[in-house]
Amino acid sequence: MVMRFAICFILFAVALPTLAIDRLTASVDKNPVLVGEYFTLTIEANGKVSGQMPDTSAIAKNFVTGPISTSSRTQIVNGSMSSATSWQMQVMSRSAGEFTLPAFEVSGIKSQPINLRVVARESDDSQQKDIFVTTELAPQSLYVQQAALYTVKLFIGKDLLDAQMTQPTMNEGSITAMGQQEEAYEVVDGRRYRVITRKYLIQPQKSGNFTVEGPIFNGQVREGYRRMAVSAVGESIDVEVKPIPNDYRGAWLPSELVNLAEEWQPEDKQVVVGSPITRTFTLTALGITKEQMPDIEIPSVDGFRIYPDETDRNQMARDGRVISQMIASYALLPQKPGTYTLPEIKLPWFNTVINRIQYATLPARTVEVIADPNQPQTTTVQPQPNATMQPVAPSNQVEPTIIYKEADKSWGDWVLTGSGYALWLITLVVMLLRKPHTPVQAPAKNSQDPDNTNAQDTLKQLGKVAKQNENRQFYTLLREYVELAYKQPLKSWISQQPTEIREEIAKLQASLYSANKQQVDLVTLYNHMSKIKKRSKSDAKSRLETLY
């Protein structure tokens, strides 16, 4: 018996590769089908298939298709062996009409075409009242790369058990989901619905006339004690996309409204040499994405060093519109005294409401830079005329001779002086006798304490990072050290430091944020920091000695 089973198995294994496809069939589980309703397409091959799949790309032109699942089976009945492989996929049509599913081919064998009828949904369809989808696009007339907000609402009037909804589609356009879906309840025609809202950002990439195909919903609802399949399709929306005007120059910025504002810190129009100024720009635009927000370039000004800081971009949807905002900061470091005029900033944008080029501008600003009053002033000493250049006085002119002579003291002056010394000695003896012998306490550390433990550890790390020439890590540790040791922000602390420290930190910031990279001597900057610490300790010691 065992021998017979082994022989059958060997014969089966030998015969398996020789099997080939002798028939290929294609079928659908529904015909006709409703618009937006999924049906199952099954393609089955009788015979052995070695890693082959039918080409279904032809039906993607008129239908929405899902992934293909493959299954196979082999059986032996009365010594006769048969093998079959089947492929299944979910298919759906967005429009009504008569369609033909083409013939499919596997290993040279073809199936028969399938005639399929897709029926439009009636407006009074009871299922349509239970589940329906609405779509909205604002605005519907766009320019290339202009952002529009596409809103999808799914109305559910029954107990939903299972659901899936596709995304909208558009040729030559990018579609991006915005945020999380929202859920609420609305009353439509006297019936209460659960409403699921999804929002998408649509940006056409080419000019012309296009169609945004609505999403498709398929799911199951509870009908008494049964599960009933339901489906719905969002309406398609036609979109007119206009090209970029030929006379437009600059970064393309199509918007309904653009606003450019700025903020100065400090706000004073008079600043000190070496004191940093923070200039923050806020650019707000309606109808574009945050990625489209252009960089703001500040013209260079002789007498100032300009370093860009971090830039933050955000976007949101409000009142059916996409709103984007960019916040960019720059550090301005005045180098020498004088009166400077910072040029105006002009940003072009295209107004899609009036179809005209406009400019978001910031006017020129005058800044007065004064010398640092804490730094020693360099005075110009006029050279004294040489003695040989002085005019010679006439021989008959006699210079007056002034003789200073100490006045003679009387006996009363001597008595008064001696009495003063005697009183001083008596007072000194009395103070020494009354002085309490209590231990002298060291003064408490003030809020600016570069000698605390955490600050010392951070300063040691600064020294290690300086030797490794790690600019960004050094700048991070420097900010941490100043906050620990001096209890104030780095910007305020820098303004209080000598010129050599301010210049080194300015070079460090330029190496991090500026396009023109500068060489930074981190070891020198660290040595300056160490000198400040030693000087602080020396000052504290001097204050302590005055108590003894």
Q: What is the mean pLDDT of the chain?
A: 77
One domain, residues 261 and 341: yes
One domain, residues 270 and 204: no
Last residue of a domain, one of 215, 242, 269: 242
How much is the pLDDT for 449?
A: 57
In angstroms, rounded to a whole number, what is the distance separating the alpha carbons of residues 280 and 290?
17
How much is the pLDDT for 391?
A: 43
How much is the pLDDT for 480?
A: 82
Q: Is residue 400 in a domain?
A: no
One domain, residues 237 and 266: no
More confident residue, 22 or 248: 248
In angstroms, rounded to a whole number, what is the distance separating the alpha carbons of residues 320 and 133?
18
Q: Is residue 426 in a domain?
A: no
In angstroms, rounded to a whole number, what is the distance separating the alpha carbons of residues 277 and 262?
13
Q: Are 172 and 205 in contact (CB under 8 A)?
A: yes
Last residue of a domain, one of 97, 119, 141: 119
Q: Is residue 260 in a domain?
A: yes
Q: Each residue of 428-468: pLDDT tens digit?
A: 555 555 544 444 343 334 445 555 777 788 888 888 888 88
Q: Each residue of 5-32: pLDDT tens digit?
A: 554 544 444 444 444 677 888 898 888 8
pLDDT at residue 522 above 50?
yes
pLDDT at residue 136 above 50?
yes
How many Cα atoms sit within 13 Å of 176 on the Cβ side? Answer: 16
How much is the pLDDT for 424?
A: 57
In angstroms, rounded to a whole number, what is the distance separating the alpha carbons of residues 335 and 271?
11
- Of the pLDDT bands very low, low, confident and very high (cuts 50, 70, 90), residue 530 is confident
In angstroms, rounded to a whole number, what is the distance separating the alpha carbons of residues 467 and 463?
7
Q: Each residue of 359-395: pLDDT tens digit?
A: 999 999 888 888 877 765 554 444 444 444 344 444 4
One domain, residues 199 and 259: no
% of the chain beyond a pLDDT of 90: 14
One domain, residues 15 and 104: yes
Q: Is residue 211 in a domain?
A: yes
* Domain total in the chain: 4
Q: Is residue 417 in a domain?
A: no
How much is the pLDDT for 431?
A: 57
One domain, residues 115 and 132: no
- Of the pLDDT bands very low, low, confident and very high (cuts 50, 70, 90), residue 283 is very high
How much is the pLDDT for 195?
A: 93
Q: Each residue of 158-197: pLDDT tens digit?
A: 888 888 888 899 988 889 888 888 999 998 888 889 999 9
How much is the pLDDT for 432?
A: 52
The bridge status of strand 105-106 relative to strand 109-110 is antiparallel
pLDDT at residue 217 above 90?
no
One domain, residues 361 and 324: yes
pLDDT at residue 399 above 50?
no
In angstroms, rounded to a whole number, what is the distance separating the alpha carbons of residues 524 and 535?
17
One domain, residues 356 and 269: yes
CB-count burial class (<10 Å; 0-12, 13-18, 19+) for 466: buried
Q: Is residue 394 in a domain?
A: no
Q: Each residue of 464-498: pLDDT tens digit?
A: 888 888 887 788 888 888 888 887 777 778 877 88
Q: Is residue 386 in a domain?
A: no
Mean pLDDT for the stretch of residues 529-534: 72
How much is the pLDDT for 387?
A: 40
% of the chain beyond a pLDDT of 70: 76
Q: Is residue 28 in a domain?
A: yes
- Of the pLDDT bands very low, low, confident and very high (cuts 50, 70, 90), residue 403 is very low
pLDDT at residue 3 above 50?
yes
How much is the pLDDT for 204?
A: 92
How much is the pLDDT for 199?
A: 92
**Amino acid residing at 487:** K
Last residue of a domain, one of 206, 222, 242: 242
One domain, residues 201 and 144: yes
CB-count burial class (<10 Å; 0-12, 13-18, 19+) for 22: exposed
One domain, residues 134 and 203: yes
Phi, psi of 367 (to 5 degrees): -125, 130
Full domain range(s) for residue 328: 254-370
For position 297, which CATH number holds? 2.60.40
One domain, residues 132 and 238: yes
Would you state the structure tokens that stand for residue 525, as one six-digit string? 């900057």
With H, G, I as helix, E, B as strand and everything else as coil, classify residue 469: coil
- Of the pLDDT bands very low, low, confident and very high (cuts 50, 70, 90), residue 291 is confident
How much is the pLDDT for 183?
A: 92
One domain, residues 234 and 299: no
